[in-house]
Structure 1
Amino acid sequence: MTTPAAPTDFGAQSVDWGTCDGYATDGNDLPSNLQCARITVPVDYSNPTGDTARIALSRAPATGDRIGSILVNPGGPGASGLSAATTGEATDIAARFDMIGFDPRGIGASTPAVRCLTGPETDAERADDDTDTSPAGIAATEAENKDYAAKCAERTGRGFLAHVGSEDVARDMDVIRSVLGDDKLSYIGYSYGTRIGSTYAELFPDRVRALVLDGAIDPEQNPVDEVVDQAAGFQKAFDDFAADCAKTTSCPLGTSPEQAVGQFRRLVNPLLVNPARTTDPRGLSYEDANTGVQQALYSPTLWRALRVGLGQLADGSGDVLLSLADLYNGRLDDGSYSNLEDAFNAVRCVDDPPITNPAQAGELDTRFREAAPFLDDGRGNGSAALDVCAYWPVPSEGTPRITVSDLAPTVVVSTTEDPATPYEAGVALAADLGGSLITYRGTQHTVAFSGEDCVDEPLVSYLVDLTIPEQGLTC
């Protein structure tokens, strides 16, 4: 593949670093030690003289003998990445590199922003029952999905929606690299951030200095298999949580992990008819209960909150689970939302081919229920609604295939019981890139620079000195 050059006018622009006031979009203030700025990129790289977008950046300057910059993306897609500039702040990478966070195009403080629904519209969507698999129920859900896609086109613009995918984000990263003055890119990507990292490697293999990819998405995997594998991952995390919960004296799922799925279904299925009471007037819907549970399964640090939330649900209330669902969906204290969910849909609908065949949608639903019985409401019948991507107003870019040659050594980190990005995807991505693999034994989503010395120390050596981790390293 021929490496496309960054447009000279964009790659040569200067960065005017200043305060981060007004940059936070997720309800959390950015750390006071960060600096922020925006740079300009073309919306369509094939037409660099056309419309432009502004990409929000953050920086934690190197505190010691500076090597260069490291870009960091926390995943999503749809998540703001500005606070990611604090990654590794207690390690030598913070001393030797400017740590750079960024909001990918259309996300967070970058402009224009992807917007589809208002806050009240999102609240209503979350409260709606989309589990009805009768012909009438499927028709109603598909009508809602068509309406959602139409609103995205109206409120964001088709021209911009067509250019929010991973390839355009990777090209933006090359502009960022250039304006920061780095000859080659050093990058840490988590979860979806591995997708844009591997895309960058394919587009610009000769401009890679170092890539750390943690919680891998295998871009060569069939999107249907990806969803099913993720469902299986969440089921394993639920099983691990249930086993841990059963050790306590008041586990709302009981003392037998083997019966935890049945007990969980007895707690949540009544929400299909009646939401649980909450201090917030919205109440806890069936969808939000499941979303809150999945949010807590991302990390054992949230298992206590999940145990409390399920205990509340057993007593008929749902405040904790609603708070967890709000966190997952990016709902702010004033009832508005970050654009996390809208951007998530916009990116995935451009990145991956949609399911437009009702039979395939039904097959996916059946396989999903089999892979994650704790999420099966018992109403499956082999039929399912087509999701929003089937009605998306711009075409997808298709399924990517990694073909990389002459790439600098890379490092993939994969967790054995990761609920969101299965371990095997990391194994596959490391093989695709010809890189090293670090295996972490645990039940959580991503681990790099979270305080595990066995993982962090070899990553610091790699990023600072380009020392490759030992083969087969397992922590």
Structure 2
Amino acid sequence: MVPAALPAAAQPASARPGVTAPAAVSPSVPALNPYFEQQLAWGPCAEFARTATDREAYANPRYDCAYLDVPLDYGDPDLATARIAMLRQKALDPAARIGSLFVDPGGPGGSGVSFLPALAGLIGDGEVAQKFDLIGFDPRGVGVSEPAIDCSTTEEVDAERADLDLDTSPEGVAQTEQEFQEFADRCAERVGIDVLANVGTRDVARDLHLAHEVVGDDLLTYVGYSYGTSIGAEFARQFPEEVRALVLDGAVDPSLGPVESRTTQARGFQRAFDNFAAYCAAQPECPLGTDAAAASARVQELLTPLIDAPVPTSDATRTLGYADAITGLIQALYAESLWPPLLDGLAKVARGDGTTLLILADIYYDRAPDGSYGNLLEAFPAISCMDGDRLTDRAVAREINDTNLALAPFLDAGFGSSDVLELCSFWPVPPTSEAGPVDAPGLPTVLVASSTGDPATPYEDGVSLAGQLAARLLTVENDSHTVVLQGANACADAATTRYLVDLALPAADLTCAREAAQGR
């Protein structure tokens, strides 16, 4: 993991669709005709399941699944074919059906196939479910799409989780960068250069263009969360006149410069931690004490002993070390509903028990009960590295480290800053997009939602993206990462539903007041 203020895997905002990517691919390209003319073979979802939870969810007769064929390389559509996994809940009222609603949960590397049943459960049987086929998809390389980005064995992932990479000396930096080089080489060998070169957001947007045509929709209706907003923004850039409705929640700001794009989350997560610390201080027994202002130092006092002495967990074969403790902490800050488990986890660490924080870290890393992992850990860098600039200037690297440590002291383990480069600096293929504001002439007015206390994609990023797209901004007073259509805020859900169903946007930018978080 990168020895910066935030764990490398805690930076989903690194993917930034750009303004200099090649021109949009048109269905008029003759070699693409077979892809646009394909008939999807919808059927049972059993073969799409990776875990027991998936198998149970996918057995619901409401769901069916299919693979969508896409060109691996849109520049040479005849070269090879990739397959995009899709899971669908058909409109509950076929007579009132408007079309399909495509959904992406973020990441990059999050599985839309796995996410859709959970989201459908939150949406329930209301208007959105009545009038739209809900479709979750695994972007190219992700989840059960084929070919998958699979760079590491289970044992290698476990080893990476245990690797602290806290040494900021020249020797420590060299060791970390050697590990980055080895991972990049492993991905090139096991996945293939041709696959890695075509997994960026530029090509995911092209797949979504093909998908909405194949399912029979002339225009795209889409909800993207977190990194999913990058997919939506890139689709808008390439195909602005093919948009029916876009809801972009937890927005990534594509206009940020090289330092700002890598430090924006530090501010967001510190704000989320400070809010948690205030909540904790008001509880009868807060392991961080009653002085919320001192909580950043206190949490490091509690967790840094795990560097040398991991604590046991309820699983006799596993312990909680510092890296997993920090990852569990980060995971819990994504949602206000996870504050009580975080409080419990920190209190247990103080008593020598790492069980709860390890569970939270396992959720973050998409670890199944049998010890296997999804491919989020590999897909995250593979996609991110195709979507932005490459850090090669060590002075800039040190500036980024210095800024992150200053903005997020709750993650400062006391080892100081370094000039370590990033994994993407060693990536074997060049990026396919560049950072820059989104220019989408002809785009209808769309909806950008941003939560005031979002840790991973701070509120200000949503304000910026709304400005770039000339979108309507939905501000939600909320301390979680993403909010719409999740039953967390009735005002936000109502505004989103009216837009998706009727294309009726609020007359002006709208603010939804805070509602009580579930689990508090």
Does the TM-score normalized on the shorter chain lie above 0.5? yes
Residue number among 341, 344, 349 corresponding to 2:385 in the alignment: 349
Amino acid at match of 2:49: A
Number of corresponding residues: 474
> Residue 115 of structure 1 corresponds to which residue in structure 2?
150
> Contact between 1:4 and 1:204, CA under 8 Å: does it hold in 2?
no
* Structure 1 residue aligned with 2:410: 374
Match of 2:38 in 1: 13
- Structure 1 Cα separation of the partners of residues 75 and 297 of structure 2: 54
SS class of match (2:448): strand
Residue 367 of structure 2 is aligned with which of 331, 353, 361?
331
Say whether the 8 Å CA contact 1:26–1:80 is kept in structure 2: no
C-alpha deviations, 1:145-165, integer Å up to 9, x for none?
Answer: 110111111110011001100
Give the TM-score normalised by structure 1: 0.97
> What are the superposed Cα offsets for residues 282-302 of structure 1, whole Å, 9 maximum, x if unpaired?
311211111000000001111
Q: Which moved more, 1:339-348 or 1:214-223?
A: 214-223
Of 248-257 and 27-36, deviating more is 27-36
Letter in 2 for 1:474: T
Give the distance between the partners of 1:304 and 1:333, measured in 2 at CA. Answer: 22
- Give 1:447's aligned residue: 483
**Structure 1 residue aligned with 2:11:** none
Q: Name the SS of the counterpart of 2:511 in structure 1.
A: coil
**Distance in structure 2 (CA, Å) of the matches to 1:383 and 1:22:** 46
* Deviation digits for residues 141-199 of structure 1 (CA, Å, limit 9, x no counterpart): 11111101111111100110011000100000011101100000000000000000000
Q: Which residue of 2 aligns with 1:46?
A: 75
Question: 1:400, CA displacement in angstroms?
Answer: 3.6
TM-score norm. by structure 2 comes to 0.89
* CA distance, structure 1, for counterparts of residue 150 and residue 143 of structure 2: 11
Deviates more, 1:215-224 or 1:173-182: 215-224
Unaligned runs of 5+ in 1: none
1:434 and 2:476 are equivalent in the alignment: no
d(CA) in 2 for partners of 1:25 and 1:359? 43
Aligned ranges 1:122-141 → 2 under 5 Å: 122-141=157-176
Match runs of 1:202-241 below 5 Å: 202-241=237-276
Q: Is the 8 A contact 2:92 2:125 kept in 1?
A: no
2:502 pairs with one of 453, 456, 465: 465
Structure 2 partner of 1:158: 193
Amino acid at match of 2:173: I
Match of 1:178, SS? helix
Name the CA distance, whole Å, in 2 between partners of 1:313 and 1:25.
Answer: 31
Is the partner of 1:474 in helix, strand or coil?
strand
Question: Counterpart of 2:102?
Answer: 71
How many angstroms apart in 1 are the aligned matches of 2:385 and 2:24? 26
* Deviation (angstroms), 1:303: 0.7
Give secondary structure in 2 for the equivalent of 1:124: helix
> Does structure 2 conserve the Cα–Cα contact (< 8 Å) formed by 1:309 and 1:320?
yes
> Which blocks of at least 5 consecutive residues in structure 2 are unaligned?
1-21, 513-520
What amino acid is the match of 1:9? Answer: P
Q: Does the Cα contact within 8 Å between 1:12 and 1:178 map onto a contact in 2?
A: no
The residue matched to 1:228 in structure 2 has which SS? helix
Q: AA paired with 1:171? A: R
Counterpart residue identity of residue 46, structure 1: G
Q: Which amino acid aligns with 1:376?
A: D
Higher RCO (CA-CA < 8 Å; seq separation 6+): 2
CA deviation string 1:240-282 (max 9, x = no partner): 1111111111111111111211211111111222222223323
Alignment partner of 1:252 out of 277, 287, 291: 287
Give the conservation status (yes or no) of the 8 Å contact 1:26–1:338.
no
1:422 maps to: 458
Distance 1:90 1:222, change over 3 A: farther
In structure 2, give the amino acid aligned to 1:297: L
Report what 2:424 is aligned to. Answer: 389
Amino acid at match of 2:497: V
Distance 2:84 2:449 in 1: 28
Q: For structure 1, which segment, 79-88 or 409-418, has the greater mean C-alpha deviation from structure 2 after superposition?
A: 79-88
- Aligned to 2:385, what secondary structure does the other structure show? helix
Tell whether 2:76 aligns with 1:57.
Answer: no
Range with bigger deviation, 120-129 or 218-227: 218-227
**How much has 1:2 moved relative to structure 2?**
6.1
1:186–1:463 Cα contact (<8 Å) kept: yes
Amino acid at match of 2:107: G
- The amino acid across from 2:45 in the alignment is C
- Secondary structure (helix, strand or coil) at the match of 2:510 reads coil
**Residue 240 to residue 397, structure 1, CA distance change in 2 (3 Å):** same
Q: More displaced, 92-101 or 397-406?
A: 397-406
| Structure 1 counterpart SS, 2:135 | strand
Q: In the alignment, is the contact (CA less than 8 A) between 1:365 and 1:384 conserved in 2?
A: yes
Query: Deviation per CA, 1:88-137, whole angstroms, max 9, x where unpaired?
Result: 33420110111111000000010000011111111111111201001111
For 2:349, the equivalent position in structure 1 comes to: 313
C-alpha separation in 2, matches of 1:240 and 1:283: 28
**1:170 maps to amino acid:** A
1:261 aligns with 2:296: yes
Question: Which residue of structure 2 lines up, in the alignment, with residue 169 of structure 1?
Answer: 204
Tell me the distance in 2 between the aligned counterparts of 1:444 and 1:218.
18
Post-superposition shift, 1:384?
Answer: 3.3
